[in-house]
C-alpha cells in the first residue's frame, strides 16, 4: 500500500457537531499529538479530530482469504 502523509497547515479545523469520547492513549503518542498541535497552532482536541478523520478516511479493511 502506498504510504500517504497528512500535510498540516496552521488553519483551524471546525466540526459541526461533536460527541465526547474517552480513550486510553499511550503517553508517548499524546506527546507526539501535542507537539503537532503546538507546531500547527491548534489545541490537542482539534489535532485528535484531524488525525482520527484522516485515519478513518484512509483505512482499508482486508477481507479474510
47 backbone dihedrals φ, ψ, rounded to 5°: -65, -45
Extract the C-alpha cell encoding 15: 466540526
pLDDT of residue 13: 57
Instruction: Convert the pLDDT of each residue in 3-58 to its tens digit.
Output: 788 887 766 656 678 889 999 999 999 999 999 999 999 999 999 999 999 999 99
Per-residue pLDDT, 12: 61
Q: What is the pLDDT of residue 63?
A: 85
Overall pTM surpassing 0.95 (yes/no): no
- Spatial CA neighbour of 43 closest among 65, 15, 17: 15
* For the chain, the helix, strand and coil percentages under 3-state DSSP, each to the nearest 5: 45, 0, 55
pLDDT value for 29 = 98
Amino acid at each position: 500500500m502506498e504510504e500517504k502523509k497528512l500535510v498540516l497547515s496552521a488553519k483551524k479545523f471546525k466540526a459541526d457537531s461533536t460527541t465526547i469520547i474517552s480513550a486510553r492513549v499511550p503517553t508517548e503518542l499524546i506527546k507526539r499529538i501535542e507537539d503537532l498541535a503546538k507546531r500547527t497552532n491548534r489545541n490537542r482536541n482539534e489535532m485528535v479530530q484531524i488525525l482520527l478523520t484522516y485515519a478513518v478516511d484512509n483505512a482499508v479493511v482486508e477481507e479474510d482469504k
